[in-house]
Amino acid sequence: MAVNDSEASCNDLFRLALLSFSMKLNWQTSDWVSCLHAAEACLQAPARVDPRLAQVLIRPASLLEDALLQEGIAAATFWSHAIPLAAGIGGSHELAEVALTKTIGRAEARPRTALFRGLLADIRNAFSSVVPDMEKEIASGRQALQMRWHREGQPLLGGLEAWTEPGILVDEAAVIAVYPALGGGGAAHLVYNSVRVEAVAVDPDSDLPEVMRLAWLLSQLNLDLPRYSENVQPNRLPLVGGLAMIPVVLSVAAQTGESAMETRIAQAVEAWVGSGDETPAQIETLKEWWESYRALRPAWATALPALDQLLP
C-alpha cells in the first residue's frame, strides 16, 4: 500500500519523538482512591464489579448517591473531585469538606460535611471488610504494570505528538494504582493532573493491553488547557477528549496502517469509555472524524470542537 506524504512525515516525527520525549510519572497507591473507585464502579457498571465488592459496596454507594440527589449536588462533579482528592487526604471529614467545597462552594459545604463524612466512612469500611490489605492485594499487579510501562509506555507517549501536535502532553503526572474492582479500568483527572488505573497482573484483553490504556489516560491531561478546551462544552470535555485520543493511541501502537482501525476503535471505546445507548453512534462518529482528521490534519484546537459538534 502506498504511503502518502502526511503519513511519511508522521512516521519521521514519530521516530524523532521516541528519542526526545519523556514524561515523569509519580506512582502512588491509596486505600481511599481504591474504595471510591470501586464504589463509583458499583453505581456505573455493577455487573462488571468483583462480586465480593459489589455485595458490600452497593448499599453505601447508593446511599451516598441518594444523598447527593437529595441535597441537589451534581453527583458526577462530586465524584470527579472526591476520587482524585482522596489520593492526598487521609480522613473522611477532610475529604468530605474539601470535595464538597470544590463541588458546591465553602458556604454550602459546611452544613453538609458531617453527613457526607459518615457516608464516605461507610464506603471505606465496607471496602476494607473485603480488601483488608489493599497494598498487598495490588502489589503484583502494580509491579507488572510499572515494568511494562518502562519498556513500552514511553515510546507510546512519544509517538502521540506526531499524530497531534507538540505540547499536547504534560511533562509530569501522578499515576494512582487502584484495586482491580473491574478487572481492568481507570480514569483521567484533568484538573488534578492525575490518572487512576487498575493494577491488574494480566491484561484482560491482549489486543488492548493496559499499557495502552494508561497511555490513553495520560494523553488527556493537557486537554483542559484553554487552547484546546475553550470551544468544547465543559461538561463534555472528558468524553470528547477521551474519544479523540483513542484512534491516536491505537495508531501509535500499531504503526502498521489503518486496515483494522475501525474494529480496534470500536473495541477501545467499549473497553475504555464504556458501553451505553449512545455507544454505537459515538463509535461511528469517531471513525468518520478520524478519517477526516487523518486526511486534513487540522490543528488539535480545531479538531476537538469538530468532534464535539458531531457527537450525539
Annotated domain spans of the chain: 31-133, 224-312
Higher pLDDT, 259 or 19: 259
Burial readout 173-195 (b: 16 or more C-beta within 10 A, e: otherwise):
bbbbbbbbbbebbbbbbbebbbb
Confidence of residue 17 (pLDDT cuts 50, 70, 90): very low
State mean pLDDT over 94-100.
98
- 21 has pLDDT over 60: yes
- 155 has pLDDT over 80: yes
So what's the pLDDT on residue 156? 87
Give the DSSP H or E segment for 178. Answer: strand 172-178
Q: What is the pLDDT of residues 213-224, one digit of tens each?
A: 999 999 999 999
Distances in whole angstroms, Cα of residue 12 to Cα of each of 7, 18, 161, 162, 298: 9, 10, 12, 8, 18
Q: Of 262, 263, 287, 284, whose CA–CA distance to 205 is shortest?
A: 263
Q: What is the pLDDT of residues 38-51, one digit of tens each?
A: 999 999 999 999 99
State mean pLDDT over 53-61.
97
Distances in whole angstroms, Cα of residue 40 to Cα of each of 63, 217, 226: 12, 18, 29
Q: Of 289, 309, 201, whose CA–CA distance to 245 is shortest?
A: 289
Give the DSSP H or E segment for 147. Answer: helix 134-148
